Structure 1
Amino acid sequence: MKSVLLFTIFFWNAHLFAQKDFEQSIATKIKEVTVFITGGEVKRTTPVSVKKGRNILTYTGISTVVDQKSIQFIADKSVTMVSVSTAIDYLKFTDDNPIFKAINDSLRMYHESKQNFQDEVNAYQSELQLIKTNMNIKGNQATLLASELKAMADYHLKRTMELNKIISSYKGKQKKVQTRIHALSSQLQELNYKEQTHSNQIVVIVDSKSDRTINTELKYVISNCGWQANYDLSAQDVSGIINLKYKAKVFNNTGNDWEEVKLTLSSSNPNLSASAPILDAWFLNNRTVSSAFAKRKAVIVPQNRGYDQWYSNASVPQMSQNLSGVGGKLGADKVGDAVKITSIEVPQLSSEFPIKIPYSIPSNSKPYLVAIDAFDLPATFSHKAVPKLDKDAFLMANIVGWEKLNLIPGPSNVYYQGVYVGESYLNTCNVDDTLSLSFGRDNKVVVEKKLMEEFSNTKMIGANKKDTYTYEIIVKNNMGTTLNMDLFDQIPISQESDITVSVNEISSAFQNEDTGILSWKLALQPGQQQVYKVSFTIKYPKNRNITVKKYRTISAPSF
C-alpha cells in the first residue's frame, strides 16, 4: 500500500512539473518603423525557441507610449496564442545599468562629505559662541592690568577672525559639494526618465504542441514621434525648370532609439476605425474654393496649439521645439523637451513614402532630416509688383504638375541662382493645378509709385468736400530679357451712401468693381520704361474726416 502511495505522489509531482509554464525574456531590435504625421508603427522580428506546452514570452525594452490595443503578434509556425498584455518593469533598468550605480555611489560620497563639512562648521561655531558668551574676563580680580586687557582683546580678535575664516572655508566647500550633488541628481533624474520610457514589456502567452523555433513578429502603434514635410525649391535661371527636393524632419521621443531601421513616412491615420466608412455631403464654399487673386496672394502661417491628446488626426509637428513627457503615467511629472503641434489639412487619400536607405534616429526629440525624393518641375516665370505695399518687383514661378507628387503642406526653402532667397510655406490645400511661388525680389526691375501733387487737390463745393488724388506708377525693365509682369494697384471702395468715389483715370487697367483692385499685364523689352496713371476723386461731407492713407504698425525704440 505504501509503495502504491509513493508511486502516486511521484507521478503527480512529475505531472505538475511537466505542466510548468516555460518563461523567457526576449530582447529584440526594431527592424521597421512607419512614421505618421503624429505617431508611428513599430515592427520587431526575432526567432524564439518555444517548448511543448505553455510558453510565456516577455519582450523587453519596449516603449512606454505603446497603444496596447494595437499590439499584433505573428508567428510563422502553428502556435496557439492565449493572450497579449503589457507590464512595466520598474526595477530592472536600475539593477542592470552600471551608470545608475556609479551616480548613486558618487551621490553617497558627496552627501557624506557635505555632512562632514557641516560637522566641522558646527564645531567651530560652538567655539565661536563660547568666546562670545565669555566676554567677562575680569573674574574675581579687583583690577585688571592694561597689558592683560590688551592681551585678552588681541586673543579674542585673532581667534574670532580665525574661526570666521575656517567657517567660511567649510561653507564654501559645502556649496561646491551641493553643486555637484545637484548636477548628479539632475543627471540621475534624466537618466531615470530615459530608462523608464523603454521599461515596458509585452507579455505574450502561447501554447505549442512541440519544441520548435519560430520566427516572431511584433507590431504596435506608438505616440511621441512624427514628421513634418520640408521642401527645397531652386532655380538656376528663368529657363522653365524648378528642382524640388522633398524632405522630412522626423523626430523620435518614444524611448527607443531607431538604429538602421527601414523607414516609411505616411500621411495616414494610425487610429483607423474598423467600421465601414459613410459618405457625408460634400459642400463647396469660400474656404474650399478661393478666387484666383486670393490664391496667388495667400500665405498660410501655421498656428500652434498644445499637444493635449495621444493622437490628433490633422496635426503636424513643428520642429522648433520638442514633445513633453512620454505619455501615459510614466514621465507625467517630468517636463521634458516639447515639440509644438500645428493643424494642417492633408488629402483624405493618404500617401506612403518608403525611404530607400536605412536610417538611425535616436530618441531625443530632435528633428532629423530624411530625404524623400527630388523632382524637376516645368514652370513659367513672371514678375509681380504691388507698389502701394512694396517698392520692389518679385520674381514668381508658376509650377505645373505638382499635384501628382502627393505633397503635403510644409515650409520650403527657396533658392535662386544658388542664393538663398528665404522661407515660404507650401500650402497644397488652397491652390489649383498651378502653384505660384515667389522667388524673391528682383532689383533689375524698377517700380516706383508717387503722388503727383500738381494734379492732386482739395475743393469745397457747398456742404461737400472733394479730394482728388493722382498717382504715377513707373516701371522700367533693366533685365537683358523681356519682362512679363502683373502690376497691381487699387481704387478705394465706399461703404457709405454720403461718400462717393469717382475714377478719373486708370491707364487701361482691368478694374474689379467689387474689390477696387486694378491690374495690368506688362510685356516690356530690355531697357523699356512704362508709365501708368491712377486718379480718383472722393466726395464726402465737409464736416467729416476721411483717411485715405493706410498705416502699418512696427516696433520702434522709445526713450
Structure 2
Amino acid sequence: MASIYELDIRNQEISGITILSDRAEVKRRVPVNLKAGVSEICLKNFSVFFQSDSIRVEGRGKATVCDVNAKKLPSLNSETDSPKIAELRSELDKYNAIRNNQEDQRDILKKKIGGLERTVGRIGKGIMNPKRESGSVVIDENLLTGLQKLLDFQETEMNKLNEQLREKEHEILKTIEMASKIGNELNRLVNSGISNMSHTVFITLEAFEDGDVELDITYQVFQAGWQPSYDIRVDTEKPTMAITYFGKIYNHCGEDWNEFPAVLSTAQPSLGGQIPELGVLDAHFYRPALKMRRQRGLRIMNRRGGPRMLSNYSNEIDDGVEEVLQTMAPPPMEVTKNTLSTEFRIARKATILNGVDDHKVTIGTIELIPSLLHQSVPSKNASALLTASAVNTSVLPLLSGETSIFLNNAFVAKSHMKDVSPGERFTCSLGVDTAIRIEYKPAKKFHEEGGYITKHSTHATEQTISVKNTRSGPPVLLTIKHHVPRSTDEKIRVKLTSPVGITSDQTDQINSENAEPNVGIILNKDNNLEWTIKLDAISSKDLLIKWIVEHAKGENIELRENLQ
C-alpha cells in the first residue's frame, strides 16, 4: 500500500520566482522523508489562478518520479484561505457578533421605553377613571402632587432611556462602519466569482530505500506580473539625461510571497511560439451579395466589444525630492541576456503579499548624453516643444511603460515610453517652450488648367510659417513638421517646389533612425516634411512650403490624413 503525505504548498519554501509581464513562474522546495516503496505526495491549496499544465517536478534523492497529476477538488474556506484572509474573516465575524449584541441591547431599550409609556398611561387612566365602587374622583392637593411626581418620574426615566438608545445607535453605526471596512478589504483579497475549489497536485514517487528526498516544484500563476516605469531627468546645462529604470511588481494570484529571490523577465509567452498557418487563397470573380429584405420589427445589432485601453497618463504629480549631497546608488542588479529575452535579477530578497499595492524595485540607472531640439507641428498646434533625443547606449532594453519627466529637477509631465532596444534612438518631450513663437498663416491656393492634347488640372498650395526666437543666448535647433501629399495613383503627380529638394546626405539621414538632429530638409518615411533650422537669439524667419498637384481634368482630388 502506498504511503500518503499531505502538504500545503503555501508553507513550502520559495527558492525563486521569475516574474513575467502577465504571469509568474514560482519555484518551491519540498523536502520529504520517504519510506521505501511507492509513495504519493499530495500538495494542496495551489492558487486559484494556478496553470495546471505548467507544473514541473524535479528532485534529488534516491527516488524516481512516476506520475504527476493536477486536480481541482472541493474545499472549505478554512483550508484555502491565506493567513491574511483568515484573519480578516475572524475580525469580520467578531464585529458581526458585536453588532448582533448591540442590536439586542437596542431592542431591549426600545421595549423599556414602550413599557414605561404604557405603565404611566395605565396609572393615569386608573386615577382619572376609577371604578364605580370606588366613587367619584376628588381632585385635591394630594392627588395633584402624586400626578406631578409620576410625570417627573416618567420624564427622568425617558430621558435616561433615550440617551442610552442614542448611544447604542451610535455604537451600532461605528460597528457597521468597521465591519464594512473589513468586508471591503476581504472582498479585495478574495477572488470573487470563483468557485470554492482547491487545486491539488498528486506526485507518485518510488523510493529505493528509506531516506530524505527534496523536490523542486515549478508552476505558473496568472494575475501576477510586472510593468516597467521610468524617471527621466534632463539637465539642459550639461546636458545629461539620467533614466532610472523601475519595475512595478503586482501580486493578485492569491499567494503570499515571503522572502524570495525575484527575477524580472522580458519574455512574452502570451504572444505564443507557433508560426501562423496560411490557408489557400482562391481568386474568384466578384459577385455582389444579394440584399436581404428587412423584416419589420426585427433589428440586428452588431455587438462588438471594443478593446480595453490602458491609461498612460495620470493626474498625480510626483513630489520632487531635493538633491542630497551625495546621490544614493541603487542596489546592484544582475542582467542576463537570453536569445529571446532579458532577465533582471533583484539583489535583495523581496516580500510581496497577495492583494497589496505594487512593489517597486529599481532595475538600473542609465546615463546618456541627449541632443536638445525644438519641434513643432504648426498645422495641429502652433507651439514649440523642447525635446531630448538620445541613443540607448546601455545593455538594457527599455520596454513600453509610463514615464515621469523632470527638467532641471522640476517635474514637467507624465508620458509614455515606447519599446527601445539597445542602440536605438528615442525622443521624449520636455514641455512647451514659450520663448519660441510660431505663427501658422492661412494657406494660399491656386488652380489652373492646361494641356494641348491631354487636358490636366494643376493645384498649387503655399503655406507660410513664421518662427521667432525671443530668448537671448545660444541658437536653438527647431524642426517644423508639415504634411506633403503623397500620390496613391500614377495619374496623380505631386511636386514639392519649396523648400529645395533633398540632398544625398539627407537621403541617408532618412534611412538612419539613429542619426543626430541636424540642420536640413528631409521627407520622412511617411512623406512628411521635416525642416530643421538654426534659429539665432532674438531673431525670426519665414518658412515657405509649396507643393503642386497635377491630375487629369475632370477628376477631383481628396486629401485624407491616414494615421498609421
Fold equivalence (TM over 0.5): yes
**Cα offset for 1:28?**
0.6
Q: Deviations over 1:83-138 (max 9, x none)?
A: 43354453347899678667645654553343234223213312213434665323
Q: Secondary structure at the match of 1:128?
A: helix
Superposition deviation, residue 251 in structure 1: 0.9
The alignment status of 1:123 with 2:102, answered yes or no, reads: no
Indicate the SS of the match to 2:433.
strand
Structure-to-structure mapping, 1:499-538, within 5 angstroms:
520-525=531-536, 527-532=537-542
- Structure 1 SS opposite 2:262: strand
Provide the TM-score with structure 2 as the length reference.
Answer: 0.63
- Name the residue aligned to 2:436: 446
Distance 1:472 1:203 in 2: 71
Deviation of 1:65 (Å): 2.1
Pairing 1:2-41 to 2, within 5 Å after superposition: 19=1, 21-25=3-7, 27-41=11-25
Cα distance per residue 1:323-344 (max 9 Å; x no partner)? xxxxxxxxxxxxxxxxxxxxxx
Cα 1:399–1:390 change in 2 (3 A) is: same
Please tell me whether the aligned partners of residues 2 and 39 of structure 2 are also in contact (alpha carbons under 8 angstroms).
no
Equivalent of 2:169 in 171, 175, 180: 175
Contact 2:312 2:402 in 1 (8 A): no
Instruction: State the Cα distance separating 1:201 from its structure 2 match.
Output: 6.1
Q: Residues 249 and 370 of structure 1 are in contact (CA less than 8 Å); yes or no, is this contact kept in structure 2?
A: yes
CA distance in 1, matches of 2:377, 2:82: 68
* 2:358 equivalent to 1:371: no
1:318-357 correspondence to structure 2 within 5 Å: 349-357=340-348
CA–CA distance in structure 2, aligned partners of residues 159 and 534 of structure 1: 99
- Equivalent pair of 1:47/1:216 in contact (CA under 8 Å): yes
Equivalent residue of 2:223, what SS? strand
- CA drift of 1:171 comes to 2.3
Quote the residue 1:268 is aligned against. Answer: 267
Report the AA paired with residue 486 of structure 1. T
Quote the Cα distance in structure 2 between the aligned partners of 1:120 and 1:43: 59
Q: Residues 451 and 254 of structure 1: is their aligned pair in 2 closer, same or farther, counting only changes over 3 Å?
A: closer
**Inter-partner Cα distance in structure 2 for 1:318 and 1:225:** 20
Once residues 483 and 268 of structure 2 are traced to their aligned partners in structure 1, the CA distance between those partners, rounded to angstroms, is 45
Q: Distance in 2 between matches of 1:101 and 1:396?
A: 56
SS at match of 1:37: coil
Contact 1:449 1:472 in 2 (8 A): yes
Aligned equivalents of 2:111, 2:104: Cα separation in 1: 10
In structure 1, what is the equivalent of residue 335 of structure 2? none
Aligned residues of 1:229 and 1:249 also touching (Cα < 8 A): yes
- Give me the whole-angstrom Cα distance separating, in 1, the residues matched to 2:372 and 2:244: 19
Tell me, yes or no, if the aligned pair for 2:398 and 2:420 is still in contact at 8 Å: no
Matches within 5 A, 1:452-491: 473-476=466-469, 478-488=471-481
Check 1:131–1:446 CA distance in 2 against 1; reply closer, same or farther (3 A cut). Answer: same
Tell me how far apart the structure 2 counterparts of residues 441 and 354 of structure 1 sit (CA, whole Å).
39
Matched residues in 2 for 1:158 and 1:404: separation?
A: 89
Q: Identify the residue that residue 49 of structure 1 maps to in structure 2.
A: 33
Q: CA RMSD in A?
A: 4.8
**Does the 8 Å contact 2:499/2:545 carry over to 1?**
no
In the TM superposition, 1:108-507 aligns within 5 A as 108=97, 111-132=100-121, 136=125, 137-140=128-131, 141-145=135-139, 147=141, 150-151=144-145, 154-155=148-149, 157-183=151-177, 185-186=179-180, 189=183, 200=198, 202-207=200-205, 208-237=207-236, 241-270=240-269, 277-278=275-276, 349-386=340-377, 390=381, 392-401=383-392, 405-428=396-419, 433-443=424-434, 445-449=435-439, 473-476=466-469, 478-488=471-481
Deviations 1:170-203 (A, max 9, x none): 3223324423543554466467668867995644
Q: Per-residue displacement from partner, 1:362-400 (whole Å, max 9, x unpaired)?
A: 222412212223333454322123456556432222223
Aligned partner letter, 2:166: G
Indicate if the aligned counterparts of 1:90 and 1:199 stay in contact, CA closer than 8 A.
Answer: no
Q: Is the 8 A contact 2:91 2:182 kept in 1?
A: no
Change (3 A) 1:107 1:265: same
Distance 1:436 1:225 in 2: 31
Count of residue pairs the alignment pairs up: 434
Q: Alpha-carbon deviations, 1:404-453, whole Å to 9, x = none?
A: 743321111222323222121122389x953232122335x43143879x
User: How many angstroms apart in 2 are the aligned matches of 1:259 and 1:320?
Assistant: 31
Question: Taking structure 1 as reference, are residues 270 and 319 closer, same or farther at Cα in structure 2, changes over 3 Å only?
Answer: farther
Separation in structure 1 between the aligned mates of residue 155 and residue 186 of structure 2, nearest angstrom: 46
Distance 2:472 2:533 in 1: 14
Q: Is the 8 A contact 1:71 1:219 kept in 2?
A: yes
Alpha carbons 1:93, 1:195 under 8 Å: kept: no
Question: Which of 79, 99, 110 lines up with 2:64 in the alignment?
Answer: 79
Residues of 1 paired with 2:268 and 2:527: CA distance? 44
**Residues 114 and 145 of structure 1, relative CA distance in 2, 3 Å threshold:** same
1:45 Cα deviation (Å)? 1.0
1:46–1:195 CA distance, 2 compared to 1 (3 A): farther
Hey, what's the Cα distance between the residues in 1 that align with 2:439 and 2:387? Answer: 21
Question: Hey, what's the Cα distance between the residues in 1 that align with 2:82 and 2:369?
Answer: 61
Instruction: Decide whether the 8 Å contact of 1:451 with 1:471 is kept in 2.
Output: yes
Residue 68, structure 1, aligned to residue 52, structure 2: yes
3-state SS of 1:255 partner: coil
Cα gap change, 1:23/1:470 in structure 2, threshold over 3 Å: closer, same or farther? closer
The verdict on how the C-alpha distance between 1:491 and 1:530 changes in structure 2, with shifts beyond 3 A counting, is farther
Q: Partners of 1:358 and 1:120 in 2: how far apart?
A: 57
Residue pair 1:228, 1:317 contacting (<8 A) in 2 also: no
Residues 106 and 426 (structure 1 numbering): CA distance in 2 closer, same or farther, change over 3 Å?
closer
Query: 1:149 & 1:491 partners in 2: Cα distance?
Result: 108
Q: Contact conserved, 1:225 with 1:251, CA < 8 A, in 2?
A: yes
Does the C-alpha gap of structure 1 residues 442 and 479 become closer, same or farther in structure 2, counting only changes over 3 Å?
A: farther
1:255 Cα offset (Å): 2.5
Answer yes or no: is the 8 Å Cα contact 1:234–1:242 preserved in 2: yes
- 1:462-508 CA distances to partner (integer Å, 9 max, x unpaired)? xxxxxx99977241262532321113568999xxxxxxxxx9x9898
Give the Cα–Cα distance (whole angstroms) in 1 for the partners of residues 113 and 160 of structure 2: 8
Distance across 1 between alignment mates of 2:344 and 2:430: 28
- Mapped to 2, the partners of 1:174 and 1:146 lie a distance apart of 42
Once the two structures are superposed, residues 123-163 of structure 1 have per-residue CA deviations (whole angstroms, 9 ceiling, x without a partner) of 33122134346653232443542646744653564344334
**Hey, what's the Cα distance between the residues in 2 that align with 1:54 and 1:122?**
69
Change (3 A) 1:318 1:81: farther
**Structure 2 unaligned runs (5+)?**
280-304, 316-338, 445-460, 487-495, 502-520, 547-564
Structure 1: runs of 5 or more not aligned: 1-18, 282-302, 307-314, 322-347, 457-467, 494-502, 537-559
C-alpha spacing 1:470/1:181, structure 2 compared with 1 (3 Å): closer
Measured in 2, the distance between the counterparts of 1:317 and 1:70 equals: 32
Residues 416 and 123 of structure 1: CA distance in aligned 2, closer, same or farther (over 3 Å): closer
Percent identical among aligned pairs is 15
